[in-house]
Amino acid sequence: MRAMVYRGPYKVRVEEKDIPKIEHPNDAIVRVSKGAICGSDLHLYHGMMPDTRVGMTFGHEFVGTVHEVGSSVQNVAVGDRVMVPFNVYCGSCYFCSRGLYSNCHNVNPNATAVGGIYGYSHTCGGYDGGQAEFVRVPFADVGPSKIPDWMDEEDAVLLTDACPTGYFGAQLGDIAEGDTVVVFGAGPVGLFAAKSSWLMGAGRVIVVDHLQYRLEKARSFAHAETFNFVEYDDIVVHLKKETDYLGADVVIDAVGAEADGNFLQHVTSSKLKLQGGSPIALNWAIDSVRKGGTVSVVGAYGPIFSAVKFGDAMNKGLTLRMNQCPVKRQWPRLFEHVRNGYLKPSDIVTHRIPLEHIAEGYHMFSSKLDNIIKPLVVAGQS
Amino acid sequence: MTETATPYIANKRIPRKSADELRAQIPGWGADLDPADRPSYPREQPGIETGARWDFPERQPEKWPRERSVEHAFLPPVFGTSTPPAGVSGAIRKYAYKYSEGRAAHWLLLIAADRVDATEHHLKSLATLHPDNPVTETGVLSEFSHHPIHSRYGQKRADVNHQWMDPIIVAGPWVMAAVGLAAAYKTLRKERTQPDD
Ligand SMILES: NC(=O)c1ccc[n+]([C@@H]2O[C@H](COP(=O)([O-])OP(=O)(O)OC[C@H]3O[C@@H](n4cnc5c(N)ncnc54)[C@H](O)[C@@H]3O)[C@@H](O)[C@H]2O)c1
Ligand SMILES: [Zn+2]
Ligand SMILES: [Zn+2]
């Protein structure tokens, strides 16, 4: 089969690989029809995530058709069109039994702090991912769901990560009616977090980024007010002024480890790998939320320490909430929202890249060329 | 400013839009106002239905000694089988797993192994029919057709000031590979020319 493989920082190529095999009775092999590149993949692509091995296939957002099932699989059958959450999880461990699917203890030998994620380094379990023609899906009775007949396939891809993660990020904010919510990052996750904040009853939603075209999307897609942090000497002070010096009730970090806005922080983490992530957006969040407020972190950080302003968080009495998103738990309610027309996940798709051209897709997404917001990866040659 | 700013008094001073106004303007506004409608509230939901019919999953066969965190009680039953550790990078990785996730040494060794891994593979690829090609693999050719200048400049972007470093990071392992090759060649030549004198 054809599969994307990592060749070292900033380098990927498409190679011929063996079709994955059933390795456990509850495995399925899925033939991928559509996938996506995620902001998280950029952390791997830039070589930031420890134990990212040359030869690994990335990709944790994909949908497709069941090609083969293991002997114990009952809930899906060969030929079913399925969407697969980015989490690999068992459904039965201490954490899964409480709904913390992203924190599963049975699927990742390499680290106890992280659950399993498809195509996301050995630190997340060493699974090859879905930027390929076929992918191994463990616990096929637990993770995947049949794509409902009414659902658009591109919406289904977005529902495997970006959309539920943004929705989850808004929930972590514990938004109350009328709250002012600030979202850092107008990437896919931030856009969905902003949009979801309204569903939870926010009174005001503000999105901050430095990419004009993404801020424009935040205005049109997520009905948000927007600020480009480059235009302000100090974005924290500006946000204080905007909130009558109170600060926002809730701030969501949808940027993560490669935040820009401070050269030293960015270079020591993204380029030199001396920090687990550049906490610029996280520090801005801590400083711009009101005392007693909540900071929700869905932006991803590496396992190495980062220079976070913890003292301010403590002195301000903040609630910090965060996690990888337990995707499938979001689905029933999100499906209703999609069906009711409150959310159209595929509205943020800007590029559809054939698997064979994925190296160019990575470069464009990494360098933010051509007003890219969300690139899908489509099967086939062309 | 004559009025006292919000934080110095008991309530928010600026009244924002009413719920009715917001509902009229924003599709779905307030649909999840009640926390009970939010799927991740409360955070833990004991007894949630997951589809699992086992207490503990069957074990997948371990085809090679799978490296694992010392914080695990045993090898978890299911795991990824991509890219087993090999070569010098593999040795560093196995060594890194002797340290717990709480130790910086664990992560810094893994990061170091990643750099070695890339260099090892670039070297190896030169001896194959499919050597690494920095032009196609970095995807830089997409620049031509996707507005490289307009995308970057006059846009108030904050990331253009460090994008120049990217090619250096890409070239790093190549330079190391080249140095390694040159050293190997020198040693080989020495060995070949020395014995007869
Ligand atoms: N928690 C989860 O389950 C989960 C799931 C998916 C993605 N993520 C993480 O969420 C983050 C965002 O993902 P994405 O796909 O939207 O990525 P993305 O790279 O497309 O978006 C990040 C955005 O942040 C902007 N940005 C950079 N520095 C900023 C700053 N200081 N302030 C405000 N904005 C800034 C960038 O310009 C970009 O638009 C990533 O870290 C990703 O790993 C987490
Ligand atoms: Zn993702
Ligand atoms: Zn589990």
pLDDT of residue A382: 44
- Cβ atoms < 10 Å from Cβ of B165: 14
Closest residue by Cα to residue A32 from A62, A68, A8: A62
* Residue A241 touches partner B, C-beta closer than 8 Å: no
A166 and A154 within one domain? no
Residue B191 has pLDDT above 70, yes or no: no
Q: Indicate the pLDDT class of residue B173, thresholds 50, 70 and 90.
A: low
Cα–ligand 2 centroid distance for A105 (angstroms): 20
B109 and B153 within one domain? no
Å from B129 to nearest chain A CA?
Answer: 12
pLDDT of residue A270: 86
Residue identified by tokens 């930031």 is A48
| Ligand 1 near A83 CB (within 6 A) | no
Which positions 10-49 of A are in contact with B (Cβ < 8 Å)?
Answer: 10-13, 15, 23-26, 46-47
Cα–ligand 3 centroid distance for A89 (angstroms): 5
A167 and A134 within one domain? no
* Omega within 30 of 0 (cis) for the link into B195: no
Query: B45: which residues sit within 8 A by CB, 6+ positions away?
Result: A98, A99
Task: Classify residue B40 by burial, with Cβ atoms within 10 Å: 0-12, 13-18, 19+.
Answer: buried
- Give CA separation, B136 vs A55, A136, B4, in Å: 16, 27, 60
Amino acid at the residue B74 = F
Q: Strand runs (DSSP E) across chain A, as ranges?
A: 2-8, 11-16, 28-36, 62-69, 81-84, 87-88, 116-117, 134-137, 145-146, 180-184, 204-209, 225-228, 248-253, 289-297, 319-322, 349-354, 374-378
Amino acid at the residue A239 = L
Give the residue from A2, A100, A122 with the most B CB atoms within 10 Å of its CB, the best one to mutate. Answer: A122
Residue B13 has pLDDT above 90, yes or no: no
Structure tokens at B167: 């090619």
pLDDT of residue A100: 98
Alpha-carbon distance B38 to B26, whole Å?
A: 19
Closest residue by Cα to residue A90 from A68, A66, A72, A78: A72
Which residues of chain A fall below pLDDT 50? 382
A237 and A144 within one domain? no
A181 and A143 within one domain? no
| pLDDT tens per residue across span B40-55 | 999 999 999 999 999 9
Structure tokens at B189: 């030549």
* Residue A146 touches partner B, C-beta closer than 8 Å: no
- Residue B185 domain-assigned (yes or no): yes
Task: Classify residue A146 by burial, with Cβ atoms within 10 Å: 0-12, 13-18, 19+.
Answer: middle
A206 and A188 within one domain? yes
B165 and B113 within one domain? no
Residue identified by tokens 């203890």 is A105
Q: Indicate the pLDDT class of residue B91, thresholds 50, 70 and 90.
A: very high
Tally of domains within chain A: 2
Alpha-carbon distance A288 to A237, whole Å?
A: 8
DSSP state of A79: T
Q: Indicate the pLDDT class of residue B178, thresholds 50, 70 and 90.
A: confident
Å from B97 to nearest chain A CA?
Answer: 8
Q: Are strands A248-253 and A289-297 parallel, antiparallel or unpaired?
A: parallel
Q: What angle do CA A72, A73, A75 make, to 5 degrees?
A: 145
> What are the chain A neighbours of B81 within 8 Å (beta carbons)?
23, 126
Question: Taking CA atoms, what residue in A is nearest to B85?
Answer: A53
Cα–ligand 2 centroid distance for B194 (angstroms): 57
A18 and A141 within one domain? yes
DSSP of A95-132, one letter per residue?
TGGGT-GGG-SSS-SS-SSS-EETTS-GGGT----SSB
A183 and A285 within one domain? yes
Cβ contact, residue pair B156, A212, below 8 Å: yes
Dihedral angle, C-alpha A188, A193, A195, A198, nearest 10 °:
180
- Cβ atoms < 10 Å from Cβ of A72: 15
A335 and A279 within one domain? no
Nearest to B50 among A91, A174, A211 (CB): A91
Residue B2 has pLDDT above 70, yes or no: no
Task: Classify residue B102 by burial, with Cβ atoms within 10 Å: 0-12, 13-18, 19+.
Answer: exposed
DSSP state of A270: I
Query: B8: which residues sit within 8 A by CB, 6+ positions away?
Result: none
Structure tokens at B157: 């972007």
Cα–ligand 3 centroid distance for A26 (angstroms): 14
- Cβ atoms < 10 Å from Cβ of B30: 16
Question: Taking CA atoms, what residue in A is nearest to B57?
Answer: A90
| Ligand 1 near A35 CB (within 6 A) | no
B174: containing domain: 133-189
Residue A106 backbone phi and psi in degrees, to 5: -100, 5
Instruction: Tell me the CATH number at A16.
Output: 3.90.180.10
Alpha-carbon distance A160 to A147, whole Å?
A: 11
Handedness of CA B133, B138, B144, B149 (dihedral sign): negative
Helix or strand or coil: residue A4?
strand
Cβ contact, residue pair A211, B83, below 8 Å: no
Which positions 255-294 of A are in contact with B (Cβ < 8 Å)?
Answer: 260-261, 263, 266-267, 270-271, 273, 276, 290
A317 and A169 within one domain? yes
Q: Are strands A28-36 and A134-137 parallel, antiparallel or unpaired?
A: antiparallel
Instruction: Tell me the CATH number at A308.
Output: 3.40.50.720
Cα–ligand 1 centroid distance for B17 (angstroms): 29
- Give CA separation, B191 vs B178, B179, B180, B181, B196, in Å: 20, 18, 17, 15, 10
| pLDDT tens per residue across span A235-255 | 999 999 999 999 999 999 999
Q: Whose CA is nearest to atom 39 of ligand 1?
A: A187
Query: A357: which residues sit within 8 A by CB, 6+ positions away?
Result: none
Pick the ligand that lies closest to the CA of residue A321. Answer: 1
Domain-ending residue, one of A301, A322, A343: A322
Structure tokens at B108: 């810094």
- Residue B142 domain-assigned (yes or no): yes
Å from B180 to nearest chain A CA?
Answer: 17
- Residue B174 domain-assigned (yes or no): yes
**A72's torsion region: left (phi>0), alpha (psi -120 to 50) or beta?**
alpha
A379: Cα within 13 Å, side-chain hemisphere: 17
Handedness of CA A3, A192, A228, A263 (dihedral sign): negative
Tally of domains within chain B: 2
| Ligand 1 near A256 CB (within 6 A) | yes
A171 within 8 A of A323, measured Cβ to Cβ: no
> What are the chain A neighbours of B160 within 8 Å (beta carbons)?
none
| pLDDT tens per residue across span B122-151 | 999 999 989 999 899 999 989 988 888 888
A280 and A332 within one domain? no
A42: Cα within 13 Å, side-chain hemisphere: 25
Domain-ending residue, one of A307, A322, A337: A322
Give the residue from B1, B43, B78 with the most A CB atoms within 10 Å of its CB, the best one to mutate. Answer: B78
A284: containing domain: 162-322
| pLDDT tens per residue across span B94-110 | 999 999 999 999 999 99
| Ligand 1 near A188 CB (within 6 A) | yes
Handedness of CA A113, A61, A54, A270 (dihedral sign): negative
* Residue B21 touches partner A, C-beta closer than 8 Å: no
Cβ contact, residue pair B53, A141, below 8 Å: yes
B158 and B109 within one domain? no
B158 and B137 within one domain? yes
Closest residue by Cα to residue A166 from A181, A146, A151: A181
| pLDDT tens per residue across span A285-320 | 999 999 999 999 999 999 999 999 999 999 999 999
